[in-house]
Chains A and B, each alone.
Chain A
C-alpha cells in the first residue's frame, strides 16, 4: 500500500507570496493532519480534516488555512508568507482519527524556504 505523499518536496518563495501544499493520504484513510516542524518550536499541530471538515485547529494565524477534498486529499495554504514560515510541513493520515489509538502515518514533508 502506498504511503502518504506530499508535493512538492521543496519550495522557495519570497515574503508576501502565498503557497499551496498538497497531501495524498494512505488509501482508505479519511483523516489528514498537518504539522509545522522548525528547529526552535519542534512539531506544532496546524489542523486536522475529516470528511472535508476541519475538526481541530492549532494556534496559528489565519494566514494558514486548509481544506480536504471528497477523495480525502488535502491542501494547506499559507498566504502573505513571512520569513518565520520557513519550515518542514508534514502531513499525516489516519483511518478516521476519532479513535485515539489510531496511528498517524506521516509523509516525507514539504520543505518551505521563505526568502
Chain B
C-alpha cells in the first residue's frame, strides 16, 4: 500500500525567508509525486509534479520540489515566502500501475508572517 507522511502540521516562516514543507512517501515501484495547495473554502490547486528525470521540479508561483529517491522524500520549497503563500499544502503519491489511486498526506499549514 502507498502512503504519504507530512511530519509537520504547521510551518511558520517570515516573509522573504525561504520555506520548506516536508513530505516523505512509501510506494511500490516508481513514484509519481504531486503537490497541491488549498486556500480557505476552496478546492485543491495543483502546484507541481514529479514523473521522472530531473530531481528538481519547478512549478507554479515560484514553488519547486526536490525528489530524493534514497530518502523517499519530495520536499516543497520556495526561495522567498510571501504572506499570500499562507495556505494548506498537500503532498500526494501514486504508483506506476495503470489504475492506482492518488494518496494524500494529512496536509501542512503554512503560515507566513509579515
Q: In the complex, what's the smallest C-beta–C-beta distance from A84 to chain B, in angstroms?
A: 18
Residue interface mask B85-114, A partner, CB < 8 A = 1: 000001000111111111111110000000
Interface of B is mostly: loop
CA distance A55 to B102 in the complex (A): 13
Residue A101 lies at the interface, judged by CB distance under 8 Å to chain B = yes
- Contact present for B107 and A101 (CB under 8 Å): no
Asked if A21 is an interface residue, CB under 8 A from chain B, the answer is no
**Number of A residues, CB within 8 Å of B:** 26
Q: Which of A67-115 contact B (CB under 8 A)?
A: 90, 92, 97-101, 103-109, 111
Interface size class of B (residues with CB under 8 A): 20 to 34
| Nearest B residue to A4, CB-CB | B43
Contact B49 A103 (CB under 8 A): yes
Q: Which residue of A lies closest to B30 (CB)?
A: A100
- How far, in Å, is A62 (CB) from chain B's closest CB? 19
- A56 is an interface residue with CB less than 8 A from chain B: yes
* Contact for A100 among B36, B43, B90, B97, CB less than 8 A: B97
Interface string of B16-44 (1 = CB under 8 A from A): 00000000000000001010100001111
Quick one: which of A18-61 are within 8 Å of B by CB?
33, 35, 42-43, 45, 48, 55-56, 58
Please tell me if the beta carbons of A45 and B102 are within 8 angstroms of each other in the complex: yes
Which 9 A-B pairs have CB atoms at the shortest separation, nearest pair first? A106-B43, A43-B104, A106-B44, A101-B51, A42-B106, A108-B43, A100-B32, A98-B98, A109-B43
